[in-house]
Each structure stands twice: as C-alpha cells, then as structure tokens.
A and B are shown apart, each in its own frame.
Chain A
C-alpha cells in the first residue's frame, strides 16, 4: 500500500511539474512579453522596463524558470501586477468559496445520481429506467453554463424564489445556503447523469454475478442484497472517477461563479483575464491544476483502500 501510494504520489508530482513547465514556457511562445501584454499598447518603454524587472523577466530564461519553480515550492506565486498583493494570498482567499461550491455540486451528483442509477438497474427496462437513461444522457450533454443561465432565468429572475447574485451574508448560514443552491445544482447536474449511468452499468453487471445468486439462496432480504452486497461493489469504480469529476466541476464552477457573481477562483481568474493580470491567472491555474491532480490521486487511493482485494494486493 505504501509503495503504491508513494509511486502514485511521485507520478502526480511529475505531472504537476510538467504542467507547471508548460504554463511557464507558454509565455515565450507568444510574441511580445507579459509586461507589454499586461500594460497594453499605450505603455511607455519605462513602464514596461519597470514591470519586466518586477516580474523578473530581465533575467535569462533558465534562471527565470528555476526561480519560478523554487518560488512555487516556497508557496510564492508572484505578485498581482496591479495591486502588488501576493498572488498566493489572493488565491487562498477565494479558494474556499470554490471548494464549497464544488463539494456541494458533487453532493448533488451523489445524492441524486447514485439512487437514480441504482433504481434504474433494479427496475431495468421499465419506463422509469428508460426515462432516467434519456435524462442522464441529456444532463451529461447540456453545458453547465446553460444550466446555470436557465436556473438564473427561471428561479431568480422570473419566479424570484432564490437569490441571483453573490455568496450571501457573512455569518448568515441560511443566506449562504440559499445562494449555493442554484450554482451548485448547475455544476452538479452533468455529474448526476454521469453517476446515474455509471452506477446503473456496474450494478447491472454485479447483480448478474454468482455471489448475488448465493446471497439470494441464503434468503437474504433484497434490500441487503442490493445495498450491502451489490452497491458496495458498484460504487468502487465510481469512487475512482470522482477525481475526474472534481476537475469537471472546477471548470463548471468558473462559469457558475461568473453567472451568479459569486466570489471564488473562477471569478478571480476571469477578472484577472479581463485586466490581463497574468501572475494571478497563472497562480490560480496552477493551484486548480494541482488540486485536480491531487483529487484524482486521492480518489484512486480511496477506491483501492475500499476494495479489500486491491488493498491486499498493493
């Protein structure tokens, strides 16, 4: 188990490093340099020179890359071009909002998707199964920002039952909760469909296994068979995919935060893109990428740990 964990962790670190290198060298593929890009066409050469020195762009590329790497390891993601604040602090400030949003979105997916898939598998080929199948595919296909926009239009603008903008009053948990409902549903809906399909497929496979027949032959209640004997196994491939899910939800969160004007990483990056604040964009992209890779790793390890066969083999 430890060897496997260490190896997977090592691989994750390598992948993050390569991704970091790509982000870093992307700047050099672009004509012009970040300083002039950030300052726009009306900047004077002096302004550019000052900013270049501030961003460390006057040093050789290799040195820059090395410095960048070391700084990131020290938790220093550079400084905001406009406000001079530390990017790490800015990112860490907005990260919790996005994490809560993503977690609640994943919550929707699990809360609705798993029972839906389970039900579909047990009531295979009934009307409800077919309807749930079509709904699942549709939920997967429809872009989350469309869901967000339509949720906003219906619930916040037309019917005015839920708040449209922001994350709610600080300290007022109920207010914060009502502000979470629409955006989290919008980003989680696709994964409701995805989980439903996944759980249905693996439940169908498992309900045909010999050990289910054995359980029936021992007179176990159907409830026990479905939840304890089948679902416990059917959930394993789902757990392993949760990591990928977090990545998708993070992408969705960018749109949800913009549509619902919520603070968070997505809003932060968007505002930074508009003001061409590359250090902030890069820092936020790095943090979310690392988060994504780590979530994938964690999900893999969790799935392995939950399965006694894999646990013993590692």
Chain B
C-alpha cells in the first residue's frame, strides 16, 4: 500500500476534524443546556464511582429504629421500609444504572457496528435478511418484549442487559449500514480498493472512523433510554434482585408505601430524572456541534 497516496486522499472524517477541537469546544461552552448536561453527567458519574466513600451507610445496612423516616440529619434522604438509608441506596443504585448503561451500550455498539458493516458491505441477500431481522426486533414494543424474555429467563441483572442489547443493536446497525452503503462507492474507497486493499482494511481503516462519530453521539443519547429500561424493569420488580440497590427498586418500595411517605418516590425518581436530562442535554449539544445532519430523522 503506497503511503504517499493515502496521505493525499482526504477522508470525510479528516475533513470534519479540520474545524479544530478548540473551535468546537468554544461552541460547546456557549450552549448553556449542553454545559448543564455536562455538569450533571460529571456529577452523576463521580457520585457512582465514589459511592462507597460518599455513602454514609452500606446499601443494605438496617437501622431498625428508623423505618420509612422522613429526611433527618442522620439520613439525609430518609429511610425505607426496612430502615435502610435511602441516600446510600441512591448512590449505589447510580452505580448499577451506569454499569448497565456502559455494558449494554458498548456491547450493542460493537455488535451493531459489525452487523451494520456486514449488511452494508456484504452481499445483497445478507443485507436483506439482516434488515428484516432488525425490523422485526424493532416491531416489538420494548417493554412487551422485555416482559416476554423475563417470563422465560427469570428476572436478573443479566436478563436486563440481554434485553437492552438485543433491542438496541438494530438502531446502531441501521446507522452503520446506511453510512457504509454511502461510503462504499466513494472515490477514496474505490481508489483504495483498486490498489488491492482487502475488505477488512477498507472497513477498519476507512469506514470505521467515518461512522464512529455519529455512533458515539447516538450512544450518549441512548444512555437515558437504557437507564430508563433498567429502572423501569426494576420498578416492576422484574429487574435486579432485591438486596441490590437500584433506582427502580427504590421506586418500587416507594410505590408500595406511597401513602405512608412521599420521600422514597422522590429519592428514587429525582436521580433518574437528572440522569436522563443530563445525558440528553449533553448528547443534543454534542450532536448539534459534531453532526448537525443527524438532527433530521
């Protein structure tokens, strides 16, 4: 592969980078919602990482004297029906939420990338078959599909992850497929292929860098969706198993005792709202700066 040629051919990704990181950072700092999102996301991630330092009690530690207590100095967010400190459970619950998001999004991103490139670059029949499967998966209302899987496999953290991964692959794969299709016949790819570059080289060196940007933006906007599904299933009692703290299970307890105390519902809901808002604001700001095209459709 002659080096001088790949230097002269500019890929669209390189052209995109030309604006410069500083210019983009500057534009970002002028977007108040984006900044708010960034701050929220940073705080939430830090809170999850340092949960064991920040939490005043263990997530399962029981204070028998105080059950369903309103916020006090000892328990800033009150206690649940077993007398566990809600603030500690919220902090550890954040860990679970972000862990699920990280695992699910990276796995489905990876699989989506591979399947999407296969569909876009591979033979026609494979493309059609994959598209049909993607469409079929997308035709399930997500929660309905999740409930069906839970009935079969039984509720657990792994079940949640499996459900989220399966239902989010089609979204990523479709984007990758479209991008691959449009890049496939681009001049720089054709030039590369005429020089004898193999399919893996074309895919990994030229197509990957061009699709990864929009994918990452999409991924950051998918965090709220994933966190919502985890919390939603845990809220239904079909997610993480009981002693494990999760925002959803705090909400489940809160719902059961909603007539006794509003604090559990508030404590379980607010972090969830802040997380979804934070990641959405951040994702939208990033999208507007890096890839305005994504905005439509």
Chain A positions near chain B (C-beta within 8 angstroms): 14-16, 18-19, 22-23, 26-27, 30, 34, 37, 134, 137-138, 140-143, 145-146, 149-150, 152-153, 157-158, 201, 247-248, 250-251, 254-255, 258-259, 266, 269-270, 272-273, 276-278, 281-282, 284-285, 288-289, 292-293, 296
Contacts and interface: CB of A to CB of B under 8 A. Distances in A.
Contact of A273 (B137, B139, B150): B150
Interface stretch (B59-67, B105-113, B182-190, B258-266): B258-266
A238 to B, nearest CB: 13
A22 B139 CA distance: 11
A251 B232 CA distance: 11
Nearest to B227: A143
A141 to B, nearest CB: 4
Given A22-B137, A141-B276, A158-B262, A146 B147 contact: no
B262 A254 contact: no
A6 to B, nearest CB: 18
A223 B139 CA distance: 40
9 contacts: A138-B280, A141-B224, A143-B228, A143-B231, A145-B235, A146-B269, A149-B255, A281-B151, A288-B144
B137 A27 contact: no
A276 B280 contact: no
Nearest to B277: A141
B141 A37 contact: no
B142 interface: yes
A251 B142 contact: yes
CB-CB nearest 6 A-B residue pairs: A18-B136, A141-B280, A143-B228, A251-B143, A141-B276, A19-B136
B115 to A, nearest CB: 16
A19 B138 CA distance: 9
B173 interface: no
A269 B144 contact: yes
B254 interface: yes
Nearest to B145: A285
Nearest to A156: B258
Contact of A285 (B132, B140, B231, B272): B140
A255 B232 contact: yes
A251 B236 CA distance: 13
Given A141-B276, A142-B276, A26 B149 contact: yes
Contacts of A138: 277, 280
Nearest to B272: A146
Interface in B101-159: 132-133, 135-137, 139-145, 147-154
B148 to A, nearest CB: 5
A143 B272 contact: yes
B33 interface: yes
Contacts of B231: 143
B151 A289 contact: no
B98 interface: no
B140 A19 contact: yes
B148 A30 contact: no
